[in-house]
Structure 1
Amino acid sequence: MRVRPVVAVANREVRTLLRNRALSAVVGVFAVVVIGLGGASMGSPGGYVSLTYDLLLPVELLVPVLAFAVAFQSIRGDDERGTLSILRTYSVSRPEYVLGVFVGRALPAFVAVVAALAAAGVVASLGAPETSSFLATHSAGDTPLVYARFVLLAGWYTLATVAFVLAGSALARTDREALAAGIGAVVVVAFVADLALVALLTTGFVGDLIGVLVGLAPASAFRGLVLELVIRPAIATDPGVATAHPVVSAFGLAGWTVIALAAAAAAVWRPVER
């Protein structure tokens, strides 16, 4: 795979996003909500651990919405405008094109999420009281490092959700299908996978496998990584029961990203219909 075509496509996607006022409004709303939640946590006991708890569910639900706004019309829009037909005449392979679109769409979303969360952390830290006694006193206690881990994991979750929506955009044949596929990707990432896990729990057959199964769904994998790698090390009293297996959750997020991009690459060049 060559770097130059990927960079060229990515640059074009970034310029497209910067010209989209509606998307800028969505990013602005996301930032206002996240920073507002950070302001609501200002001075609350628990410091960065408490802020991470407060932001975990909103980020888990809002990031797929942001990914939808960023990517649902990406590949489908190129197909509608005839850009794909032009690109096929150049020496750009399907993986190069899809990776370029992904980088151009996912990187701005990653920056928007990380910047908003970083600003929320700064706002919440203003006037913060001394660290609560339930927090650990070792180096992994309530320090900015705790929150930085959460921010980076949220950025990784953003990349995975953008890949999901991108696959839906590549598989769609009409604008209506692209819209439905994008919404479907958001619903699957944020809700359906978790509901499936709950349904499995009610059967009583999963038992100790729940920690592994949690890592197989994007949203629950992100949640498990935050609970196990961010919050758990910062709490003085170890709860003793793992909520997820970090290795499985990490492979889950990475695996779904690769699968989604592979599906997009397979679907982007279609045979000419007669």
Structure 2
Amino acid sequence: MNVLMLAAQEVRAGLRNRWVVATTLLLAALALSLVLLGSAPTGIVKADPLAVVVVSLASLTIFLVPLIALLLSFDAIVGEQERGTLMLLLSYPVARWQVIVGKALGQACILGFATLLGYGVAAGALALKVDIGTPAWAAFAAMVLTSAMLGAAFISMGVLASTVVRERATAAGIAVGIWLLFVLLYDTALLGILVADQGRHVTQGALNAVLLLNPADVYRIFNMTASDSVSTYAGLAGPGNAAPLPPAVLFAVLAAWVVAPLVLAVVAFKRKSV
């Protein structure tokens, strides 16, 4: 019950701060742009328009959703501490783990709602224009679900960063570093290693393991390979090929990326003096 109350408080704070509205409008506007522009040539090449949109939205999500998630969560704990409200919160009959989980859950609900509504509006607009096959709808639903999970994973990392520092500026710097590492630098470095290696030492198993260490890569591979209707149009979406990994494994790893940083945040918060 305490977790749900704290989560509801985070959602109310997001509504007051216009986070929900701003995030939903941003995702909807970008998704609609991709629908209106990206699906235009599909009638010529006989491609499934929604499958093409899924590929485009998945690529957009990798860059945008982690950034929004980190902006939501980087001051979850340290912000309360600087405002002097954290000690007051802990004076109530609420466990420290409930504070962490409640705040992360509330922020994940904000981002999940914005993702569902924003992407759903775009898919609805596309459905009014053309007929869409059932496999493409299944791929779109999986993309929306895993997009929310990707956001939750970065929210967990943002909460962890907010827990281990004592200043908002430091937490903000760590959040920017997390985004740069997982979204930009990781794949660039991996691609450089693969080019330099030329297949001599990096085996497929090693490559799969390395890709699983990045939630953005797990998300990308899942959405580009889980559905035949999407993988046809995905092409080369990033470094390496982890197609041998089944979708269930990729989904489980993405879920682990949601849980693991949150567990570390709980451990760190229990040891934190306020």
TM-score interval (norm. to shorter): 0.7 to 0.9
- TM-score w.r.t. structure 2 length? 0.83
Q: Report the counterpart of residue 143 of structure 2 in structure 1.
A: 150
* Amino acid in structure 2 at the alignment position of 1:221: V
Q: Report the counterpart of residue 106 of structure 2 in structure 1.
A: 104
**Structure 1 residues 233 and 175 mapped into 2: Cα distance closer, same or farther (>3 Å)?**
closer
How many residues of Structure 1 are paired with residues of Structure 2 in the alignment? 258
Q: Distance in 2 between matches of 1:88 and 1:177?
A: 23
**Structure 1 residues 152 and 231 mapped into 2: Cα distance closer, same or farther (>3 Å)?**
farther
Given that 2:25 and 2:118 are in contact with CA atoms closer than 8 Å, whether structure 1 keeps it comes out as no
Q: Distance in 2 between matches of 1:230 and 1:153?
A: 13
What secondary structure does 1:173 align onto?
coil
Q: Distance in 2 between matches of 1:33 and 1:129?
A: 22
Q: Report the counterpart of residue 189 of structure 1 in structure 2.
A: 182
Q: Deviation string for 1:55-85 (max 9, x for gaps)?
A: 2211111111111222122222111122221
Q: Distance in 1 between matches of 2:108 and 2:159?
A: 10
What secondary structure does 2:77 align onto?
helix
What's the offset of the Cα at 1:25?
3.0
Corresponding residue to 2:164 among 168, 171, 184: 171
Given that 2:108 and 2:148 are in contact with CA atoms closer than 8 Å, whether structure 1 keeps it comes out as no
**Structure 1 residues 169 and 271 mapped into 2: Cα distance closer, same or farther (>3 Å)?**
closer
Between the aligned residues of both structures, percent identity stands at 25
Given that 1:225 and 1:244 are in contact with CA atoms closer than 8 Å, whether structure 2 keeps it comes out as no
Q: Report the counterpart of residue 86 of structure 1 in structure 2.
A: 88
Unmatched tracts of structure 1, length 5 or more: 132-138
What secondary structure does 2:94 align onto?
coil
Q: Report the counterpart of residue 255 of structure 1 in structure 2.
A: 256
Matches within 5 A, 1:221-236: 221-231=218-228, 235=232
What secondary structure does 2:34 align onto?
helix
Q: Distance in 1 between matches of 2:50 and 2:272?
A: 52
Q: Does 1:8 align with 2:10?
A: no
What secondary structure does 1:243 align onto?
coil
Q: Report the counterpart of residue 204 of structure 2 in structure 1.
A: 208
What's the offset of the Cα at 1:270?
4.9
**Structure 1 residues 130 and 254 mapped into 2: Cα distance closer, same or farther (>3 Å)?**
closer
Report which structure shows greater RCO (CA 8 Å, sep ≥6): 2
Q: Deviation string for 1:202-244 (max 9, x for gaps)?
A: 33422212234322211000011111213467749xx9x7535
What secondary structure does 1:85 align onto?
helix
Given that 2:20 and 2:110 are in contact with CA atoms closer than 8 Å, whether structure 1 keeps it comes out as no
Given that 1:170 and 1:267 are in contact with CA atoms closer than 8 Å, whether structure 2 keeps it comes out as yes
**Structure 1 residues 27 and 267 mapped into 2: Cα distance closer, same or farther (>3 Å)?**
farther
**Structure 1 residues 185 and 251 mapped into 2: Cα distance closer, same or farther (>3 Å)?**
same
Q: Report the counterpart of residue 266 of structure 1 in structure 2.
A: 267
